[in-house]
Amino acid sequence: MEMISRISRGTKMDQIYISKDRHPDFEVGSYVAIAPVSRKKRINLFYCRIKQIEPIKSLIVREIFEFLSDAENVIITGSFLERGFEFNDIDLIVIDGTKKPIEKFISEKFGLEPHIISTTYESLRKGMNADPLFQMLLNKFISKKRIIFKMMPKINYKLLDINLLNSRLLIDNFDYLNGKEKYKMIRNIFAIKNFLEKKAITNENIDDDINAYFGKNTVDDSINNMLQKNKFIKKYKKLYNDIFNKIMRGIEQNAE
């Protein structure tokens, strides 16, 4: 049993006041030990587009931020921030951090697999402006310090080409991928599409676009691995080829 109270100044002796409404272990006449409480600086968390998060996740985030206290900023993103506990990794962006063994800390302390991007504000800004994956990644986040991104999108067709390769895997491996992998690849292709069309890239927009293009419930069906292969792949291939051709045209025009 512990109580925390403050030492106050008296005339001849200083004292510690405690409430009369207290645990019986602290009755008048009992001997107690007193020791200073080390005061930890409370870390504020800045939430971007996160309405709710489980308390245990906040605790993990605080501990990570505390561990990386010398980094200029730390951003937590990805599936870790989605509702529930269906995640097994955690995405971190460390801005101007030191070489602290954060991977070991996270995997040993929380049993999570960390994916870490070490970067600078400048590179992050470039990434946000040129890369739909960064935009999607930073659609929701928790950071140690407040960040405001001033978006000035700049299309880099070569980056988009590399990004698009990840969605191609769905065509070749449809039968062998699980629902989450399929959903990730579908989301990726729509993020690229929206980026090319200069549309906002948020999880909600992307999900709406997926359902609008492939039909109602496609998002849920893909997560649950219930997509009907033939019907889906036909439309997906068309979308993939349209985007690929658009990117190639962009590369061609840039080369001229």
Partner 1 sequence: MQNRNKIIDLFAANIATAVVHEILEEAIDDENLRKHYDKEFQNSFSIAKKYRENLNPIDRPLPTEDQDQIKDKIIAKVKNELSLRIKKGYNNVDLNKVESYTKKMLGKLKILQ
For binding to partner 1 (CB under 8 A), which residues are involved?
115, 117-120, 123, 126-127, 130-131, 133-134, 158-159, 161-163, 165-166, 168-169, 172-173, 176-177, 248, 251-252, 254-256
- Measured from the CB of residue 118, what is the shortest distance to partner 1 in angstroms? 7
Contacts of 81 (CB under 8 A, 6+ apart): 50, 53, 57, 140, 141, 142
- Rank residues 62 and 126 by Cβ distance to partner 1 and give the closer one: 126
In 3D, which of 61, 65, 51 has the Cα closest to residue 90? 61
Question: Dihedral angle at the C-alpha atoms of 86, 89, 90, 92, nearest 10 degrees?
Answer: -150
Contacts of 118 (CB under 8 A, 6+ apart): 94, 97
Pairing of strands 73-77, 89-95: antiparallel
- Rank residues 165 and 200 by Cβ distance to partner 1 and give the closer one: 165
The encoded tokens of residue 223 equal 């997560």
- Measured from the CB of residue 117, what is the shortest distance to partner 1 in angstroms? 6
CA dist 195 to 151, 164, 185, Å? 12, 12, 15
- Measured from the CB of residue 70, what is the shortest distance to partner 1 in angstroms? 19
The encoded tokens of residue 140 equal 């929701």
- Measured from the CB of residue 88, what is the shortest distance to partner 1 in angstroms? 14
Note the residue count of the chain: 256
**DSSP H or E stretch at residue 240:** helix 229-255
- Rank residues 44 and 98 by Cβ distance to partner 1 and give the closer one: 98
- Measured from the CB of residue 182, what is the shortest distance to partner 1 in angstroms? 12
CA distance 54 to 31: 40
- Rank residues 50 and 169 by Cβ distance to partner 1 and give the closer one: 169
Query: Are 52 and 80 a contacting pair, CB within 8 Å?
Result: no
- Rank residues 53 and 147 by Cβ distance to partner 1 and give the closer one: 147
Query: Are 105 and 128 a contacting pair, CB within 8 Å?
Result: no
- Measured from the CB of residue 6, what is the shortest distance to partner 1 in angstroms? 48
- Measured from the CB of residue 149, what is the shortest distance to partner 1 in angstroms? 16
- Rank residues 61 and 170 by Cβ distance to partner 1 and give the closer one: 170
- Rank residues 127 and 206 by Cβ distance to partner 1 and give the closer one: 127
CA distance 243 to 132: 14
